[in-house]
Amino acid sequence: MQTAGKVVLITGGGSGIGMETARLFVQKGNQVIITGRNKERLEHAAAEIGAAAYFSCDVTSESDVLALVQFIKDKYGKLDFLMNNAGLSYLHQLHDDTATFINASREMTTNYLAAVNITAQFLPLLKQQPEAGIINMSSITGFVPAFTLPTYSASKAALHSYSQSLRYSLSTTTNIKVFEVMPSLVDTEFTRDIPTKEKITPEEVATATLDGIEKDLYEIHVGTTGALHQHFFSQAEQAFKTLNRIS
């Protein structure tokens, strides 16, 4: 799929993977809009990228999402790529966490339900294009759970399942392609408290994302995800142990 000359919307674009993907899309001559809850962060990111627009939006707020849809319609009149990248994670373990339900509710709302809603809201606009794409930022934990991120893992598993169903549904009736990016642990503000050196950079994920889209790879594995994905389908228990470093 072509990744140049498009209108691209990226949620959670004020930092990390979203910002670096926005940067690459801009370099390829696209009109890029980044969203996030923090207006100052968005302003800084847009200035650093150099040619990106921004719109302050909480993807879990129905009124904010509707305002975003109207903004895209009024200013651009179309949308070619929607990247659901906004995310939230809590580092905790189920055996000693009294806030599990609260954490899980917030993660599921941001990582899964918000993506479902914003996709549904933008589908009419995406359907108007001869070719369009939806990019869901998933995770290696979508199929191999990390026990220190248990409810985050569950939210990404939900997003993975939804992405598969959405891809099949849209392929039978539209020209919209659904991509799912599944990186291993990425060095962002969300992972600062995870003590490991085995982190990939947001730039690596962004590069792999655009490369995968251009090659029509609907599941884009970045970092160690590819190897663990093979482990999962051949030996699920061993994949879980490998990810969580259990001997």
Is residue 28 in some structural domain? yes
Is residue 35 in some structural domain? yes
Is residue 2 in some structural domain? no
* pLDDT tens series, the chain, 247 aa: 999 999 999 999 999 999 999 999 999 999 999 999 999 999 999 999 999 999 999 999 999 999 999 999 999 999 999 999 999 988 888 998 889 999 999 999 999 999 999 999 999 999 999 999 999 999 988 888 888 899 999 999 999 999 999 999 999 999 999 999 999 877 766 656 555 557 789 999 999 999 999 999 999 998 877 777 776 666 756 766 776 777 7
Domain hosting residue 145, numbered range:
7-244
> Could you confirm whether 152 is annotated as catalytic?
yes
Is residue 1 in some structural domain? no
Number of domains in the chain: 1
Cα distance between residue 167 and residue 165, in whole Å: 5
Task: Specify the CATH number for the domain of residue 142.
Answer: 3.40.50.720
Q: Of 152, 162, 168, 218, which is the active-site residue?
A: 152
Is residue 130 in some structural domain? yes
8 A C-beta contact, residue 107 and residue 89: yes
What is this structure's pTM? 0.90
